[in-house]
Amino acid sequence: MSTFAKWQPIYAEHNIPVFPVKFEDGDKIPAIHSYGRVGLQGSAKLARKFSDASMLGFMCGPRTKVLSLDVDTKDERILTDAIDRHGKSPVIVRTASGKFQIYYRHNGERRRIRPWGDDLPIDQLGAGGYVVGVPSEIGEGRYEFVQGGLDDFDRLPVMRAPALAPAPGQRCAVRPLHACSPPLRHPRHLTRCRKNVRHGKV
């Protein structure tokens, strides 16, 4: 049984309809059209049709009540700063490529790519966005929970949202998350955070 077929009913128990995802031309894309309209019954039918799919995805936004903060880097300092800025979450995912997703409760946010500026590799995936879910596999990599799991989705907190990036020509009053001054980011603090991420204690 494929990853998608095995995990579809598990996600369904948590009221999250999933759809198959494929890896094509170096990108992760839904394997079907109208994936944003898939409900629980449709998801179950897809599990039978795509019985060999190794990846699954689900929509962010009002249907699943999930907001994903996608940290598009392996740099754990960026992850730690994002958590400091936006608030702790019981659910953190490490992607197949070693990057991160932080899950929060959706509170009306929409999908925004690099909302805090191009220099900060973080995307906000709210309404209109989707994520690749655990335990999708790409090559030898696998999506995995480093903290929490599906049982914790019901207690996701709302994300604290700092100001978004300014329009071109305007000055930003909020520093990038990774631009903290040295006194706020002592090396011992960073070492402890990295250990926490590796051991799922963030």
- The model's pLDDT over 105-138, given as tens digits with 9 standing for 90+, comes to 999 999 999 999 999 999 999 999 999 999 999 9
pLDDT band at residue 198, thresholds of 50, 70 and 90?
A: low
Which segments of the chain does DSSP mark as H helices, in order? 3-12, 40-49, 76-86, 187-198
- Residues 6 or more apart whose CB falls under 8 angstroms from that of 43 comprise 8, 11, 12, 17, 18, 19
Q: How far apart are CA 187 and CA 154, in angstroms?
A: 35
Instruction: Count CA atoms closer than 13 A to 91's CA, side-chain side.
Output: 24
Q: What's the rounded mean pLDDT across residues 176-183?
A: 40
Strand partners, 147: 92
pLDDT band at residue 139, thresholds of 50, 70 and 90?
A: confident
Decide if pLDDT at 32 tops 90.
yes
Decide if pLDDT at 187 tops 90.
no
Answer positive or negative: Cα dihedral of 72, 73, 78, 79: positive
Q: What's the rounded mean pLDDT across residues 53-77?
A: 97
Could you tell me which residue, 52 or 140, shows the higher pLDDT? 52
User: What's residue 172's pLDDT?
Assistant: 44
% pLDDT > 70, the chain: 81
Encoded amino acid at 73, one letter: T
Helix (H, G, I), strand (E, B) or coil at 46: helix
Angle between helices 187-198 and 76-86 (to 10 degrees): 90
Q: How far apart are CA 40 and CA 63, in angstroms?
A: 11
User: What's residue 92's pLDDT?
Assistant: 98
User: What's residue 162's pLDDT?
Assistant: 81
pLDDT band at residue 20, thresholds of 50, 70 and 90?
A: very high
% pLDDT > 90, the chain: 76
pLDDT band at residue 194, thresholds of 50, 70 and 90?
A: low
Q: What's the rounded mean pLDDT across residues 98-111?
A: 97
Q: What's the rounded mean pLDDT across residues 98-103?
A: 98
Q: What's the rounded mean pLDDT across residues 148-156?
A: 98
Q: How far apart are CA 175 and CA 144, in angstroms?
A: 31
User: What's residue 199's pLDDT?
Assistant: 53
Terminal Cα distance for the chain, rounded: 33
In the chain, what's the furthest Cα-to-Cα distance? 55
Residue with tokens 């071109």: 168
